[in-house]
């Protein structure tokens, strides 16, 4: 087991005043608080200023403008393809880099769909939609286009991404129908009983990974990698 050193402080003890002593016996509280803020959390820090300067300079380049325009085009393509599958997009569409998909009419929730897509190597976020009462098991999922745009995805590629998401939603519905119990833990237990690969999850994962292989991962240059 990996143990990490931890120090616990009982403030009332360390602030105890000894009779006839002009100051507290220990002053750990003040030193620790000062070390946290402004010492550790305070600013401005040089690395933060540098990062902002680099980002602002990059945002002025034609390449960055072209990239952002492609992000928006990709999101429109993703939205259109999902709507062709009958999905309801909150607000009826999108004008930015995000989509909020309402799954209530599919009789499935965002938490279950998020889990199935995660097992299939697709990253989305569960998200509340209008009318929800729980943020833990919300009625929708949130999808964005910047990360895959950075990898080189274009409109036609996001149409395929939408198809993958649709397959994941249908799998989640199938798993839910075969689950005894209404809790999310019951749903996850059903997945585990199939080694998290049943109901078509493995096939979807293989298709997703094979499709994405030609697109280089962000921050990696295979030619310079030690382990390939």
pLDDT tens readout for residues 8-22: 445 544 455 555 655
Task: Enumerate the domain spans of the chain.
Answer: 73-215
For domain 73-215, give the fold.
3.90.1150
pLDDT tens readout for residues 94-133: 999 999 999 999 999 999 999 999 999 999 999 999 999 9
Please report the beta strands in the chain, taking only residues with DSSP state E, as ranges in sequence order.
88-89, 98-102, 125-127, 140-144
- Count CB-CB contacts under 10 A for residue 19: 4
**25 pLDDT tier (thresholds 50, 70, 90):** low
Distant-in-sequence, close-in-space partners of 105: CB < 8 Å, separation ≥ 6: 88
pTM of the predicted structure, to 2 decimals: 0.77
pLDDT tens readout for residues 55-84: 999 999 999 999 999 999 999 999 999 999
């Amino acid at each position: 087991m990996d143990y990490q050193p931890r120090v616990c402080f009982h403030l009332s003890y360390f602030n105890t005043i000894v009779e006839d002593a002009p100051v507290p016996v220990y002053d750990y509280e003040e030193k620790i608080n000062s070390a946290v803020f402004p010492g550790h959390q305070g600013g401005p820090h040089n690395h933060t200023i540098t990062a902002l300067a680099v980002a602002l300079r990059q945002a002025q380049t034609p390449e960055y403008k072209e990239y952002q325009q492609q992000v928006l085009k990709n999101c429109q393509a993703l939205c259109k393809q999902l709507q062709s599958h009958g999905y309801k997009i909150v607000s009826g569409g999108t004008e930015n880099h995000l989509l909020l998909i309402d799954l209530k009419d599919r009789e499935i929730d965002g938490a279950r769909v998020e889990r199935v897509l995660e097992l299939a190597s697709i990253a989305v976020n569960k998200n509340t939609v209008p009318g929800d009462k729980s943020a833990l098991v919300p009625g929708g999922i949130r999808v964005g286009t910047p990360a895959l745009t950075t990898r080189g995805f274009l409109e036609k590629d996001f149409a395929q991404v939408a198809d993958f998401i649709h397959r994941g939603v249908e799998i989640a519905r199938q798993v839910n129908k075969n689950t005894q119990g209404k809790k999310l833990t019951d749903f996850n237990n059903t997945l585990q009983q199939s080694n998290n690969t049943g109901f078509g999850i493995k096939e979807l994962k293989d298709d997703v990974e094979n499709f994405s292989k030609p697109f280089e991962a962000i921050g990696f240059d295979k030619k310079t990698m030690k382990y390939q």
